[in-house]
Structure 1
């Protein structure tokens, strides 16, 4: 899941000549749903979007208040093109969730957001429609948001495994001081031991 959050003074969405929704000051959320998204991602994104501190407080201090703190509105627009992967210059959308699955997923996202905030303050466009979105960005302030990789994600596990392997290789290449001290007398006194060349070479390589 990927979201682009814009702080706005006003925003609206229309289909043709029909205006579907409009808000005053608040945030506009463009949301792209991935084939890998889960309920955990929904929970994380809703919590972050509603609590993102991008508004000033009563004294004018910036980055102090969230949309909920200020009792502002939220306009959500489904935006599958956020899942774009470029192949050369051509956009590829195979990571976007297919529409027959994405629509109920998106509707559930809206429902959960309305439960977490005031339902009448959550506005949206029309899923799958060709929309015209008007956004008057305030600042401009634009925040990109994605959920963190889950610990159970195979890609994430592979990354952790590679990091661990690199750490182990580093420890192997750089023996401890005590290990180097032991290796020198052993190579001189024990004929059956190695010549000590490996230890000498590793020592020379160290800065």
Structure 2
């Protein structure tokens, strides 16, 4: 059973990201403040839920939330500042978009950086322990999947609609055959035997 609160703060927000291990597409974060009476039976870490269930939960989460925000950070930024910093930056950007401003932040994982002097706690596997982090994980995943479906239309040969940019065998074969796109993360090891790409 997921807990509603970690702190005593009335405007505690949970934040999480999706797409950290992908070879293409953005890293997407979400942050959310839930009301005191929030209940949602199916809610869990988005990785434990089917796509159908995530899609069903998304509008309910959005409707019930006091406030939520989603941010995509593009591959160019990921390559510039690295994926860990990009994940943290995406979560920070979501937090500052919330209204009201949260007075406590709970973050999935073990790394975060202070933003606007708001106290925070990092929680390993937080998306399977706290409702707000689980809700943020569902939003981050569903919004990122929508983004990947959209760019799939531009570059269908990589089948992002199916693999969402993750390093599947099919995705890597397509990179080998067709090369890279503006959506690929050039700082990542795109092919197993890759040393460097010639540009």
TM range (shorter): 0.3 to 0.5
Q: TM-score, normalised by structure 1?
A: 0.32
Which one scores higher on RCO, CA 8 angstroms, separation ≥ 6?
2
Q: TM-score, normalised by structure 2?
A: 0.33
Larger radius of gyration: 1
